[in-house]
Structure formats: structure tokens, C-alpha cells
Amino acid sequence: MNTIALLPHQQSPAVELDYTTFQTLLRARMKQAPDREFLVFPETDRRFTYREFYEISVSAVDWVGRQVEQGGTVCIIFRNTPEFLAIFFGAVALGITVVPVNPDLAVPEIRFIVENSGSHSVFFDPDMKGKLVPLEAELPEVRFSPLADVSELPKVDVPAIEAQLPHVEMTTPAAIIYTSGTTGFPKGVILSHMNFLVDGKGIAEWFQLNADTRSLCILPLFHNNGLVVSLASALHAGGAIIMIDPKASLRSFWALVERYNATFTSVMPSILAAILALGSDGRPGYLKGIISGGQYLPPSLGKRFESRFGVPIFEGFGSTEATSYSCFQAYPAERRAPGSVGRVMPISEMKVVDENDMEVPDGTEGEICIRGANVAIGYHNLPELQALRFRNGWYHCGDYGSRSREGDYYFSSRKDDLIVKGGEKIYPAEIENVLCMYPEVTECATIGIDDAILGQEICAFARLKEQTLVTESELLAFCAQSLARFKQPKRIVIINHLGDMPELPKGPTKKILYRVLRDYYERRLANSQDPEGLKWVLGSQGGG
């Protein structure tokens, strides 16, 4: 790695990789154990050995390469299917950057990602055809290519295609993962082959994964968690992955664990809450542990889950910008520090700093910073945010926490007002940008409110023009036209109807005081637990 030009925030600590790209790692595992099971898709009853899937990926190299120039960028819109993985591996083997897109996004949101990423090709599940028809008409310069089944890929001479593969550096971008942005538009995080492989290596070694590992992938592949914690780590270990459609996994969670002898899985705390709420009996079988992250895990929830099912939960800390995780609670379970998000993996370094970027003493709260080969290249076409977050050789997370004298990190709060609903990260501006487009809305603000199942729900406050008769239902319906379901507010409070808060609270500079809004909601509007939260998790769980 010393011969590769790394960015300042990637240079320490040094990490040795035996394989430099997804393609070389997959090929090596195929050579080691060609007939070992690699991928299982229960919903469609499809299974692939390492050799079978490697040959499929080489076919995808040929198919994708005929449609996309080397070094280009493509969007792929699939759920957890063989087709997603075939196109992903085929594209990155050619040095093409893949942009995974959530199929549940609204059409305007998909269009933004396609245009912002500069993708000239979109590969998609044919079931998405009806949804994408408007985009095909609006974006004539973009090629839309469906793939219903990997069996449709051309049969190729594998050695001949291998011989034509270009040299791809480990620092070549492999993916752009879009996550919520402070401007109301998603921000693209550029992740290299090195980022994925280093984080996968770190996780695999931390949890002692091996060829007998069977990872149950519940979280979607269009998020970095699915690509890293489930895919890259199991691939590094040479294990198997059971790919589940997130929408169909919760009611049958324990049955899947037992049937496929799963040894590890990664979830959001909202999934743990939903599994508990379902009231089913658990049969952990070979399940050695559950990785939990993406949102705050209430200690009481973790204790209730472990007490009932006997499976330890391991919390960690990271972000899309850190590829996935940079620290974890110690493994095995008896070494964990309760309440912490763990210690730094050998692939990373972390520190806590004050507002002047000076490291603070242990036990003092500050902003958490990360550096290492797992830290992203940076943001796509966002130079100001790049300079702000990737400065002085560190990635500044925007999360507050502290480190104990023993080296365990503790998460406190977010620096910004990010809403984390069921693991999906949503900035208030995303909802506000849509709501402010309604002709009768003069100003609005969005906050996250506590939810027993999802962690947080979304509540918007809107001020309307005087004498208007617009209702909350009409505003909710308007938001539904442009926002994915998980981004739609649970409630929109029309402040014209509030006798004690006739306008949004603002500071001296006229900046909306979100904390005051949250306090007002808790004092005046909060109600009991919403039973609809469980329905949302069961019907639309995504993850992140």
C-alpha cells in the first residue's frame, strides 16, 4: 500500500491487503474453494457456489462492458438479488463506479441521483419499469437496461474475458453511496475498492469470521452496511451469505436463522425492537452474535433482546464516510463494555476533539474524528463539504461522544439535526424542501420525535397563509408525491392552529430554533407509542 497515493485522512494506520479489488478477492476465493457455497437467495430458491458466481460475474463484465465505457459511472436499481451482485462485480472489475439506488425512492429522488452522479447507464429490475418510464422520457441521453435474471447474461469464454480485464488500482472508486445531505439533497460518498476491502477485513478479523461463517444479510445492498458488513466481510473470510429481501425477513427471522444455519447478522435497533414485538420464540441455533448500528440502541432494548433470545448484540460506530464501521464492542461478548460503541479496530484511528480541533482528555465530550484506509475518498462534487469534513488529515463525523480511559468510545448525540428513522438517515431539509413547494405554506421546519419502534419519527411544522383552509391530510398527501415512504412525515402540525406558538421559533439571526420545537412537541404534542411504527418496519424496512 505504500506505493499507492493515499489521501491524508487514509494514511494511518497502515493496513496490508492481500487483494486489491473486489475482482481479485472473488477470484482468489473461487480458486481456494470453487465448490463452496457462496450465495443463497431463499425467496427465489437460488444458490451459487464461488465458481458459479465468479463465472456469472465474468459474464457481467462482458455484458456491462459492451454498454459502458471503462471508468464510467452507472446506477443500479435492484433489491437483494443475484442480478444486483452480478452487475456490481462485473462493473467494478472494469474500473466502473457503481451507484446503488434504493428502489423505494420517489421518481424525482432517483432522477437527482442519476443526474448528479453523471451516470449514463441505469441497470434495473424489470419490475421497476413502470416507475422508470417517466425518467426514460426525461433523460434521453441515459441508457436504461433491465436484467430479469442472471441466466440472461451471455455465455462467455471466461479465460478470454479475464485476459482482457484492465488493471484497476485499489484506490479506484468502486461505488458512490448517496446518503442524506444538509442541503436537502442527498450527498454522494465516494468509496474505493480499498475502502470496502479494508473495512471488510477489519470486521472479519474482529469477529473471527472464517470459511464456516454464514452471514444473514437482512439490510439492503444499496446501503453500505449490506455491501460491507454482510458481503465484504464474509467474502474476506471465504464464508457464505444468505441474501434476504429486507421486507420479508422479520416475521421469519428465527426460521431463517435455523434453516440456513446463520452464524452472524447485522441489523438496525428498530429491527431488534420489531422482532421482540412480534412475540415469536427464537431458536438461535448457530447464531453467535448480532451486529447493531446505524442508530442509537437503548440499553433496555438490548438487555431485553439478549435476555429473551440468548444472542449477544455488538454495537459499533461508523458512517458511510468510514465505509461502515471503525470501532466495535469487544468480541466475544464477555469482553464488551456495556453502553459503549466499542474500541477502535486496527484498521482505523479515532479521537475526540473540541471546537478548535484539539484532542480532548478522556472522559470529555467532543466531536469524534476518524482516519484510516477505510475512510472514503470524499464527497462527489461537494468541495465545501469536503473541506469541512475532511480536514487536517481526519474525517470529522459531526457526532459527539467521548472516550474512556480504557479506550472505549461512547456516543452522545449528533452535531446536526439528522433524523434517524428505522436506520434510514433523513435531514430535515429534505422534507422542508418539498413542503415549502406547497403554495399555501409560508415557512416550515422538521424535527425528529421519539418512537419506541423506529427510534425516531418525523414531525413537520408548517405555517400557512392567512385564511387558508388547507388541512394536515392535504399536506401529507402532497409530501407523499415527492418523498419516499420512509421520508414522509408522520405528522404535520399547522402552527396557525396553535394558540401559544403562532410562528416558528427563531433566534436573533432568524435561524429556526429546532431544539425549541422539539421541546414544544414533548411538552404539548407528544402522545403514546404509535402502533403504526411496527407496520412501517415490517413493510418498508431499509437500513443504513
Q: What is the pLDDT along the chain (544 residues), one digit of tens a residue?
A: 445 789 999 999 999 999 999 999 999 999 999 999 999 999 999 999 999 999 999 999 999 999 998 889 999 999 999 999 999 999 999 999 999 999 999 999 999 999 999 999 999 999 999 999 999 999 999 999 999 999 999 999 999 999 999 999 999 999 999 987 767 789 999 999 999 999 999 999 999 999 999 999 999 999 899 999 999 999 999 999 999 987 666 788 999 999 999 999 999 888 888 888 887 778 788 899 999 987 778 888 899 899 999 999 999 999 999 999 999 999 999 999 999 999 999 999 999 999 899 999 999 989 999 999 999 999 999 999 999 999 999 999 998 899 999 999 999 877 777 888 998 888 888 899 899 899 999 889 999 999 988 999 999 999 998 888 999 999 999 999 999 999 999 999 999 989 889 888 986 556 788 888 998 999 989 863 444 445 555 554 444 4
Span between the terminal Cα atoms of the chain, in Å:
29
Give the CATH fold of the 419-540 domain: GMP Synthetase; Chain A, domain 3 (3.30.300)
At what angle are helices 193-206 and 22-32 packed, to 10 degrees?
50
pTM greater than the 0.85 cutoff: yes
* Amino acid letter, 141: E
Helix/strand/coil for 194: helix
Other C-beta atoms closer than 10 Å to the C-beta of 28 total 14
Picking from 472, 542, 522, the residue whose alpha carbon sits closest to that of residue 267 is 542
* Amino acid letter, 189: V
The CA distances from residue 416 to 39, 40, 278, 419, 516, in Å, are: 39, 39, 33, 9, 15
d(CA 33, CA 157): 21
d(CA 442, CA 436): 7
Picking from 27, 23, 51, the residue whose alpha carbon sits closest to that of residue 38 is 51
The full DSSP string for 109-153 is HHHHHHHHHT-SEEEE-GGGHHHHHHHHHH-TTSEEEE-S-GGGS
In the chain, count of helices (H) and strands (E)?
17, 26
C-alpha cell at 302: 438490548
List all residues 6 or more positions away from 39 whose beta carbon is below 8 Å from its beta carbon. Answer: 46, 47, 48, 53, 82, 85, 240, 241, 243
d(CA 373, CA 194): 7
C-alpha cell at 493: 402540525
* Domain extents in the chain: 419-540
